[in-house]
Amino acid sequence: MLLRLNVADHRPLHEQVAGAIRRAIAEGECVPGDRLPPARDLSQALGVNVNTVLRGLRALRDEGVLEFRRGRGVTVAQGADDRSALLDRIREVLADAERLGYGKDDVIDMIRGVT
Amino acid sequence: MTERAERAERAGQAPGRGSAAVWGSGAWVVGVLALLVAFPLVARDRLPDRLATHWGTGGDPDSSMPFWAATVFPALLWLALAVAVLLTLWRARRNSGGATASSWIGVTLGFTGVTLLGAQASIVRANLDRTDWRDAGSVTVWAVVTLAGAVAVGVVALLIGRRARVTVPPVAGPALEIPEGQRFVWLSRVSNRWLHLTAAVCGIVSVGAAVAAMGGLAGLHTVWSAATFALAAVALLACASVQARVTEKGLEVAFGPLGWPARRWAADAIASAWVENRSAMQVGGWGYRLSGLGTTVMLRGGECLVIRTVKGKDFAVSVDDAERGAALLNSLIAQRAK
């Protein structure tokens, strides 16, 4: 699988790792059911500590993008590609909102107001 | 023309150099063959009917051969080796279109040739003017001298081969656009379940043999077979799965479940990368293979990521998605070159 990282990204490393994997899933690099490379491989390839990678992976599990299964390693969850793409867009919206001075709660209110 | 200019011209003309090497090896093979037969024949009148051909650790002869056998045997050995080398060379050339760096041929022919010549000369010398092979003199000194000479010739052949290795023009491979400010990383892994299975079987046999030896069911020598099987299991396990990574540092290929041992190539040590379809038949089996195609890590037939180093050596590994791995590698090489 091919992972992309932004050199100028200033987010914490575990978020960058999660972002790279989320993007890879959104772009169809790995489809639902696919096994992700082991955390150690990812950490060596990305030049990041294993624990940082694991932190990123756990965040993705909590988002419902990845599934941790004993004996099967980390797999891409069903529907994760769509979900991941949607989450990416929400993130963009949040970033735009922040630039314009709206907080997360404001955006949630806005979404509630949309019919 | 000065010698240096001549050499420079030869280095520039790969085909001419190649045929010079072939003629040189041919002359060496024929020359050694003639000498091996000629040595005993020339001294025929001063040699006994049976020649001492083997010496014990004490320096006394302990085995002999009839004169004709002692004359022909080394020559046959040499001939067999030369034919084997020739066949390998021929196969390698056919597979890779003539572009093989073949310093090992010089080393093999040089080392074995000198060893055989030295051995034959020592045998003739030790048997000279004796009536019975049991009276033959000692050859210890000559054996040492021969071995030293053979090693020296082998090293020289290796050095010449290294220096003469032509840098093979890179093969045009796929490329990938890397946008400004982005970092790409490519990962792939592949495993072979049959090799895993064989490793498991070897492991079980090893443990069984060890337990049997400890429990006194089998003799102590079983420990050796246990150790052999354990070694085989570890080696098979290391070859049964492989991870390939392309990062801005270059290519890294890690073996086994632990990712160790691993081989690494810096991006500027690689001339080019591409994808090739290879089968286990082509490279001589599964696992870590050395053949006329270079080194291949063959875990399944089909798509292989192939790199050629700047020194002209090829390395291939059978991984999925090799196309993009090669493309990323080529782009990284191009980035480095800028």
Contact criterion met (CB < 8 Å) for B245 and A41: yes
Three-state secondary structure of B198-256: HHHHHHHHHHHHHHHHHHCCCCCCHHHHHHHHHHHHHHHHHHHEEEEEEECCEEEEEEC
Range of the domain at B41: 3-164
Q: Which residue among B183, B245, B252 places its CB closest to the CB of A5?
A: B183
Please give the share of chain B, as a percent, with pLDDT higher than 90. 9
Q: How far apart are CA A73 and CA A66, in angstroms?
A: 10
What confidence tens digit (pLDDT) does each residue in B268-293 have?
A: 888 888 888 888 777 777 888 887 77
Closest approach of A83 to chain B, Cα-based (Å): 23
User: Chain A closest CA to B295's CA: distance in Å?
Assistant: 23
Question: Do B144 and B240 lie in a common domain?
Answer: no
Kindly give the pairing relationship between strand B302-309 and strand B270-278.
Answer: antiparallel
Residues B215 and B308 reside in one and the same domain: yes
Asked if the structure places residue B171 within a domain, the reply is no
Does residue A61 belong to any structural domain of this protein?
yes
pLDDT category at B97 given cuts 50, 70, 90 is very low
The residue assigned the tokens 């000198």 is B114
Note if the pTM is more than 0.80.
Answer: no
Number of domains chain B is built from: 2
Comparing B112 with B279, the larger pLDDT belongs to B112
Instruction: Test B321 with A1 for CB contact under 8 angstroms.
Output: yes
A1 part of a folded domain:
no
Instruction: Please indicate, yes or no, if residue A4 is contained in any of the structural domains.
Output: no
Instruction: Kindly report, residue by residue over B67-95, the tens digit of the pLDDT.
Output: 888 888 889 999 999 888 888 777 766 65
Q: Are residues B262 and B325 in the same domain?
A: yes
Tokens of B226: 């246990």
Mean pLDDT of A42-64: 88
Asked if residue B247 belongs to a domain, the reply is: yes
CB contact under 8 A, A6 and B183: yes
Contact with chain A for residue B252, Cβ under 8 A: yes
Choose between B271 and B9: higher pLDDT: B271
Residue A2 is assigned to a structural domain of this protein: no
- Please give the backbone phi and psi of residue A36, each rounded to the nearest 5 degrees, phi first: -80, 150
DSSP annotation string for B5-47: HHHHHHHH-HHHHHHHHHHHHHHHHHHHHHHHHHHHHHTGGGS
Residue A41 to residue B321, Cβ atoms within 8 A: no
Q: Is the pLDDT of residue B5 over 60?
A: no
Local confidence band at B19 (pLDDT 50, 70, 90 cut-offs): low
> How far is the alpha carbon of A109 from chain B, nearest alpha carbon, in Å?
35
Query: In the 8-state DSSP scheme, what is residue A38?
Result: P
Residues of chain B numbered 307-336 and touching chain A (CB < 8 Å): 321, 324, 328
Tell me the C-alpha to C-alpha distance, in Å, between residue A49 and each of A40, A58, A67, B280.
Answer: 9, 14, 21, 37
Whether residues B155 and B190 share a domain: the answer is no
Q: What residue in A sits closest to B254 (Cα-Cα)?
A: A41
Same domain, residue pair B200 and B104 = no
Residue A67, domain extent: 13-113
Split into its structural domains, chain A has a count of 1
Minimum-distance CB partner of A4 among B182, B243, B259? B182
- Of B130, B164, B198, which residue sits at a domain end? B164
Pairing state of beta strands B314-317 and B262-266?
Answer: unpaired
Q: Are residues B190 and B142 in the same domain?
A: no
Within the 173-192 window of chain B, which residues sit less than 8 Å (CB to CB) from chain A?
A: 181-189
Sequence-ordered list of residues with C-beta below 8 angstroms from that of B252, at least 6 positions apart, any chain: A44, B244, B245, B246, B262, B263, B264, B265
Q: Which residues are CB-contacts of B108 (< 8 A; sequence separation ≥ 6)? A: B81, B85
Nearest residue, CB atoms, A45 vs list B181, B247, B324:
B247
- Tell me what pLDDT residue B204 has: 92
User: For B293-328, what is each residue's pLDDT tens digit?
Assistant: 788 888 888 888 988 888 878 899 999 888 888 888
pLDDT of residue B78: 92
Q: Which of B184, B189, B328 sits opposite A37 (nearest CB)?
A: B189
Domain containing A55 — which CATH number? 1.10.10.10
The predicted structure's pLDDT at residue B163: 62
Lowest-pLDDT range, A38-42, A104-108, B90-94, B147-151?
Answer: B90-94
Name every residue whose Cβ is closer than 8 Å to that of residue A88 and which is 6 or more positions away in sequence: A22, A23, A26
Average pLDDT of every residue of chain B? 81
Q: Do B182 and A6 touch (CB under 8 A)?
A: yes
Reference A76, options A112, A11, A26; nearest CA is A26
Give the pLDDT of residue B135: 82
Q: What is the DSSP letter of A33?
A: T
Across the range B228-234, mean pLDDT stands at: 90
* B228, B155: one domain: no
Identify whether B173 is part of a domain: no
Q: Which of A6, A7, A45 shows the shortest C-beta gap to B245?
A: A45
